[in-house]
């Protein structure tokens, strides 16, 4: 979606242009002069501007934030296993004037964390002609307070405690996954930014080459008309102009496409896509060097706090809890329940004391179960142990791969530093050759072919230099990405 200029200007991170300023952007590179930044800084769309827009409005970044919210919802769901539960049921049968049964049962169960214990409070009223004497209660009902305690399976850990602990651990995994997704978005955005930068520099270099070749063609044509130079030289100069014009047209298309690709990462606060203005220019690469101290910090991040390793560590801890729970399932089921009873109208003082809550009025029950072969339980335990081993091996391999990726990218970065130094020296020497060739040409000791050849070589060297600059910045972004961060000095799991 392409927005009008007015809508684009409302985004503070996008460059703006003063009304009435229609002149083309000043050249940022010159064949015979040192590099200098654009004079109109308001039109520079920097990498920091891109970061502000991406982290604030990018849909994938917002989508990644949902991972944490989903993990929190799972924890809340797991906590529901410890919610108090109130239940009540009523049944009555009246037929032919006979009250067959009148059953009313109520229970409040409060799960406790330690020991898998459940506190219970109940009130039952079961009366009628055909009620089982075993269940019959006084007319005013029977109240009870008691507990249910697992003495075997479920004493140390049960399903609800296992689920809650695993859900809490998965919050850490969700945070790591969120950071990893945001890092991936930023890496692609940074690469697209520097691709746009290179396309822009290519276009400017060739456009300047067209201007220089056209100026030289006009001068050569005038000198040929005056008889000071051979007419064939003007043909040579014209061919150079035409060749560079073709390159310029092609590079304009590539620049437009690179701008569109970068615009894929640009969104406003209303979740509407915006396009990078055509008058925007990229910043000059900073070419920030990474010293040995910073590289050591990045290695530490990669080997200990990388989002992938944090996620795998959370998975191992989660499986460890699952393994502990499966070991608990090997124990026999021994559940003891007990309640102290009292008449439902215990508040009446005239009732005998032996109807009150006491050790002589109680219900007690014991449940026991134990599979003889435990094949199901042993199979699940073995399967969980294999998953733990698999995750541990995956973590070991991932750590080695990540650390080696960081080292490889760092080596590439250092190679670019050396290449850029040599390339700058080569360009300086080529400028000297071109200046000398131009002086010889003015003295009539050179030809237009040699001048154009020197200049074309200089343009090629400058294009290669800009390509290496863009590649250096992209490699720097990759270095931080493979280390599991975007900026040095911030905790990966706490980054936005």
Q: Report pLDDT digits (tens) over 265-306.
A: 999 998 899 999 888 999 999 999 999 999 999 999 999 999
pLDDT value at residue 4: 35
> Any idea where the domains of the chain sit in the sequence?
49-75+163-314+391-494
3-state helix, strand, coil in the chain (%, to 5): 60, 15, 30
Question: Mind listing the pLDDT tens digit for each residue in 9-38?
Answer: 345 567 766 554 443 433 333 444 555 555
pLDDT value at residue 42: 74
- Give 223-230 contacts, CB < 8 A, sequence gap 24+: none
The residue with tokens 């032996």 is 354
What's the residue count for the chain?
Answer: 496
pLDDT value at residue 22: 42
Closest-CA residue to 27 (of 196, 280, 208): 208
CATH level 3 topology of 49-75+163-314+391-494: Outer membrane efflux proteins (OEP) (1.20.1600)
pLDDT value at residue 131: 92
The residue with tokens 């850490």 is 172
Say whether 395 sits in a helix, a strand or coil: helix
Give the integer Cα–Cα distance in Å for 14 and 17: 10
Ranges in the chain, pLDDT < 50:
1-10, 20-32, 489-496
Beta bridge partners of 343: 142
The residue with tokens 């300023």 is 21
- Sign of the dihedral defined by the CA atoms of residues 342, 344, 349, 351, in that order: negative
pLDDT value at residue 469: 95
Strand (E) or helix (H) holding 336: strand 333-343
């Amino acid at each position: 979606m392409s927005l009008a200029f007015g809508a684009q200007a409302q985004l503070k991170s996008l460059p703006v242009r003063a009304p009435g300023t229609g002149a083309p952007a000043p050249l940022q590179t010159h064949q015979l002069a040192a590099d200098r930044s654009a004079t109109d800084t308001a039109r520079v769309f920097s990498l920091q501007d891109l970061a502000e827009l991406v982290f604030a409005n990018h849909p994938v970044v917002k989508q990644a934030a949902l991972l944490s919210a989903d993990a929190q919802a799972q924890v809340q769901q797991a906590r529901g296993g410890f919610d108090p539960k109130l239940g009540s049921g009523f049944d009555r049968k009246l037929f032919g004037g006979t009250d067959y049964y009148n059953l009313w049962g109520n229970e409040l169960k409060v799960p406790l964390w330690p020991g898998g214990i459940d506190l219970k409070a109940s009130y039952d009223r079961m009366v009628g002609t055909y009620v089982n004497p075993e269940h019959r209660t006084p007319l005013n009902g029977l109240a009870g307070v008691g507990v249910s305690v697992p003495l075997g399976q479920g004493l140390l850990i049960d399903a609800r405690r296992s689920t809650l602990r695993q859900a809490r651990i998965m919050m850490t995994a969700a945070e790591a996954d969120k950071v990893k997704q945001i890092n991936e978005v930023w890496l692609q955005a940074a690469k697209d930014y520097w691709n746009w930068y290179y396309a822009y520099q290519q276009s400017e270099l060739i456009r300047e080459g067209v201007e220089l070749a056209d100026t030289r063609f006009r001068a050569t044509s005038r000198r040929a008309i005056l008889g000071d130079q051979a007419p064939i030289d003007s043909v040579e100069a014209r061919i150079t102009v035409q060749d560079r014009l073709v390159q310029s047209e092609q590079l304009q298309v590539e620049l437009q496409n690179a701008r569109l690709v970068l615009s894929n990462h640009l969104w406003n606060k209303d979740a509407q896509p915006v396009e990078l203005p055509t008058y925007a220019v990229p910043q000059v690469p900073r070419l920030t060097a990474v010293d040995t101290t910073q590289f050591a910090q990045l290695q530490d991040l990669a080997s200990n706090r990388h989002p992938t390793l944090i996620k795998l560590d959370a998975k191992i801890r989660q499986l460890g809890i699952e393994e502990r729970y499966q070991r608990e399932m090997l124990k026999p089921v021994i559940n003891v329940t007990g309640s102290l009873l009292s008449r439902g109208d215990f508040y009446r003082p005239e009732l005998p004391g032996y109807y009150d809550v006491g050790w002589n009025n109680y219900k007690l029950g014991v449940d026991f179960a134990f599979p003889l072969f435990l094949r199901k339980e042993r199979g699940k335990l073995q399967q969980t142990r294999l998953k733990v081993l698999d995750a541990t091996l995956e973590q070991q391999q991932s750590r080695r791969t990540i650390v080696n990726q960081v080292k490889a990218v760092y080596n590439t970065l250092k190679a670019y530093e050396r290449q850029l130094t040599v390339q700058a020296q080569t360009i300086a020497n080529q400028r000297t050759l071109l200046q000398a060739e131009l002086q010889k040409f003015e003295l009539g000791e050179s030809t237009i072919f040699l001048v154009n050849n020197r200049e074309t070589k200089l343009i090629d060297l400058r294009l290669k230099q800009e390509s290496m600059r863009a590649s250096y910045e992209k490699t720097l972004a990759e270095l931080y990405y493979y280390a599991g961060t975007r900026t040095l000095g911030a905790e990966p799991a706490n980054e936005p």
